[in-house]
């Protein structure tokens, strides 16, 4: 059984399992699926202030904090006990393209040459980690939710704003991966 869990699951298994979270949350408690709102709940619970954005009954959303804690715990368990010791397979064409940017180590899911604390002090690392993180946070807030909330929950509820947000997320991802990231990596 452990070997089955360690292997990547095909889309036709993982996709429906993810999709079933929507009706399960709606049936079990009329709750919406999304991750980005949990940061607001944490801030409202931990930072007493007079900011109107954080003045609400965050205790009604306590389930969301347990959900996010479960995701964190699942990530820790997976990284400690379910790692695949084999080499991460990367398309040879992508390997040759990334080699031109100095990325050759595929021992982790994230390239070590790009994501490390020493690289944070370089222009390339600062742009990718700090500026990129800020833009993800800003975009999530501006769009009124994250990709999981809009693409999974919003689209399944036929919400027009979620369709627009998901199209923008996808277009931004394609633009970033194919146009902007090569420029940043060549710095």
pLDDT tens series, the chain, 187 aa: 777 777 778 889 988 888 888 888 888 888 877 788 888 888 888 887 788 878 888 888 888 888 889 989 998 988 888 877 777 888 999 989 889 888 888 887 788 888 888 888 889 889 988 999 898 888 888 888 888 788 888 888 888 999 999 999 999 999 998 999 899 988 8
The residues, any chain, with a CB within 8 Å of residue 115's CB and separated by 6 or more, are: 125, 128, 129
pTM: 0.73
SS3 129: helix
CA distances from 163 to 14, 125, 134, 148 (A): 22, 32, 23, 12
């Amino acid at each position: 059984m452990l070997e089955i869990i360690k292997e990547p699951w095909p889309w036709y298994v993982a996709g429906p399992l993810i999709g079933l979270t929507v009706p399960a949350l709606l049936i079990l408690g009329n709750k919406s699926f999304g991750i980005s709102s949990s940061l607001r709940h944490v801030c409202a619970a931990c930072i007493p202030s007079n900011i109107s954005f954080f003045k609400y009954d965050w205790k009604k959303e306590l389930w969301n904090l347990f959900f996010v804690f479960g995701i964190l715990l699942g990530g820790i368990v997976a990284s400690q006990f379910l790692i695949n010791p084999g080499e991460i397979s990367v398309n040879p064409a992508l390997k040759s393209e990334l080699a031109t940017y100095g990325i050759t180590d595929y021992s982790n899911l994230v390239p070590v040459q790009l994501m490390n604390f020493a690289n944070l002090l370089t222009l390339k690392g600062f742009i990718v980690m700090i500026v990129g993180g800020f833009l993800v946070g800003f975009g999530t807030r501006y769009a009124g939710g994250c990709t999981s909330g809009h693409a999974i929950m919003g689209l399944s509820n036929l919400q027009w704003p979620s369709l627009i947000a998901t199209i923008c997320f996808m277009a931004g991802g394609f633009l970033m991966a194919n146009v902007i990231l090569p420029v940043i990596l060549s710095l």
